[in-house]
Amino acid sequence: MRNAFHFDTKIIGIIGHPIKQSYSPFIHNVAIELKKLEYVYLPFDIPSSNLKSALRGMTALNIKGFNVTIPHKESAIQYMNSVSEEVSMIGSINTIVNDQGKLFGHNTDAYGIFETLLPFKDDISGNQVCVIGAGGSARAVIYTLIRHFKPKKLFIVNRNERRAENLKDYFSEKMKFSSIRTKELIPPTAFEVMRDSKLVINATPVGMHPNESDSITTSTDVFTKGQIVFDLVYNPQKTLLIKTAIRSGAKTINGLNMLVNQAAKSFELWTGVDFPKEDVQKSLQLYLGN
Ligand code: NAP
């Protein structure tokens, strides 16, 4: 990183708690360096009790933008002057743009999911899809699938089926999509749903570091050739679920792709400059030792 910051160096960053696990400072500072911009991207560890004052400080210090991560993705919405259409549908933000003291909330996870799945659009449209999880990222996944990919039927499979039911009711009403079904995440029925789905998306942290030996399934009977398995977990890149899907002959997508795509959109919202996606992805893979 350049060792020269000036009076006009613009600050962007990420707020969350904890924050030390985030790859975003690496990703954005590499992009800033490659594009030779007068920006710096910093991590801010902000507990919930300090969220409001941190956002006030953001405008006072003229910080140009923040990424927002756990646990502030929902609670930060109340402090925005305005939010995007995606945010009003999904109910969470991951990016704030400070436009002369006015805060605009965006959800670029939805864009990251869209870009990642776009090459598979023909496979998804008109077919059954299965989303495992009913948390914040599952909401962005469900919104994006219904809005852009027109699946025939969408299953929400979750450990707590009540939460899945709540999402079903919410999206059926909000997006006028009546083909949502739910299942509890227990075999054998959950596995049958996965087997019958063209696309299976893991939107839970199962398999994430340091619990790499956990997996939604390790059975090679669940997936088949011609299926697509997308794991939002990006650390490790090859989760046990992805390894299981590969062994079954399914196509796989890891979470790193989405991570870089959502970062690209945030970067472009803050700087107005194209994000150097391929170069950043290569740097990130070197950084992660792959
Ligand atoms: P979240 O809001 O906390 O939701 C977690 C979901 O996972 C809930 O549905 C929960 O089920 C389920 N879950 C948690 N532990 C489980 C377990 N042991 N067994 C079964 N289900 C379990 O989390 P989130 O923000 O949606 O994030 C989920 C994952 O996506 C994380 O690993 C995160 O790193 C990843 N992510 C990746 C990207 C990317 O760019 N690649 C972006 C965002 C998130 P219950 O409802 O039953 O509790």
Share of the chain above pLDDT 90, in %: 94
Do 81 and 119 share a domain, yes or no? Answer: no
C-alpha to C-alpha distance for 154 and 159, rounded to whole angstroms: 17
Q: How does pLDDT run across 219-251, given as a tens digit for each residue?
A: 989 999 999 999 999 999 999 999 999 999 999
Share of the chain above pLDDT 70, in %: 99
Question: Is 4 part of a structural domain of the chain?
Answer: no
The reply to whether ligand 1 has any atom less than 6 angstroms from the CB of 90 is no
Q: Average pLDDT for residues 3-8, to the nearest whole number?
A: 81
Do 16 and 80 share a domain, yes or no? Answer: yes
pLDDT band of 2, cuts 50, 70, 90 = low
Do 128 and 95 share a domain, yes or no? Answer: no
Q: Average pLDDT for residues 178-182, to the nearest whole number?
A: 98
Do 61 and 140 share a domain, yes or no? Answer: no
- Residue 269, pLDDT > 90, answer yes
Q: How does pLDDT run across 87-107, given as a tens digit for each residue?
A: 999 999 999 999 999 999 999
Q: Average pLDDT for residues 17-24, to the nearest whole number?
A: 94
The DSSP annotation for the chain comes to --S---TTPEEEEEEESS-TT--HHHHHHHHHHHHT-SEEEEEEE--GGGHHHHHHHHHHTT--EEEE-TTSTTGGGGG-SEE-HHHHHH---SEEEEETTEEEEE-HHHHHHHHHHGGGHHHHTTSEEEEE--SHHHHHHHHHIIIII--SEEEEEESSHHHHHHHHHHHHHHTT---EEEEES-TTHHHHHHHT-SEEEE-S-TT-TT-TT--S---TTS--TT-EEEE---SSSS-HHHHHHHHTT-EEE-HHHHHHHHHHHHHHHHH-S---HHHHHHHHHHHTT-
Do 58 and 142 share a domain, yes or no? Answer: no
The active-site residue out of 10, 36, 73, 168 is 73
The CATH number of residue 281's host domain is: 3.40.50.10860
Q: What is the tally of structural domains in the chain? A: 2
pLDDT of residue 288: 87
The reply to whether ligand 1 has any atom less than 6 angstroms from the CB of 43 is no
pLDDT band of 5, cuts 50, 70, 90 = confident
pLDDT of residue 4: 75
Q: Average pLDDT for residues 36-59, to the nearest whole number?
A: 98
Which residue's C-alpha comes closest to atom 40 of ligand 1?
A: 259
Do 61 and 133 share a domain, yes or no? Answer: no
The CATH number of residue 136's host domain is: 3.40.50.720
Q: Average pLDDT for residues 193-213, to the nearest whole number?
A: 97
Q: Average pLDDT for residues 37-62, to the nearest whole number?
A: 98
- Residue 290, pLDDT > 80, answer no
Question: Is 223 part of a structural domain of the chain?
Answer: yes
Where does residue 7 rank: exposed (0-12), middle (13-18), buried (19+ CB within 10 A)? exposed
Q: Average pLDDT for residues 58-76, to the nearest whole number?
A: 97
Q: Which residues contact 197 (CB under 8 A, 6 or more apart)?
A: 127, 128, 129, 130, 155, 227
- Residue 289, pLDDT > 90, answer no
Domain that holds residue 185: 111-253
The reply to whether ligand 1 has any atom less than 6 angstroms from the CB of 237 is no
The reply to whether ligand 1 has any atom less than 6 angstroms from the CB of 112 is yes
- Residue 3, pLDDT > 90, answer no
> Separation of 76 CA from ligand 1 center, angstroms?
19
Q: Average pLDDT for residues 67-71, to the nearest whole number?
A: 96
73 is catalytic: yes
pLDDT of residue 54: 98
Do 32 and 143 share a domain, yes or no? Answer: no
Do 99 and 116 share a domain, yes or no? Answer: no
What ligand 1 atom has the least distance to the C-alpha of 208?
A: 32
Mean pLDDT of the chain: 96
Q: How does pLDDT run across 123-163, given as a tens digit for each residue?
A: 999 999 999 999 999 999 999 999 999 999 999 999 999 99
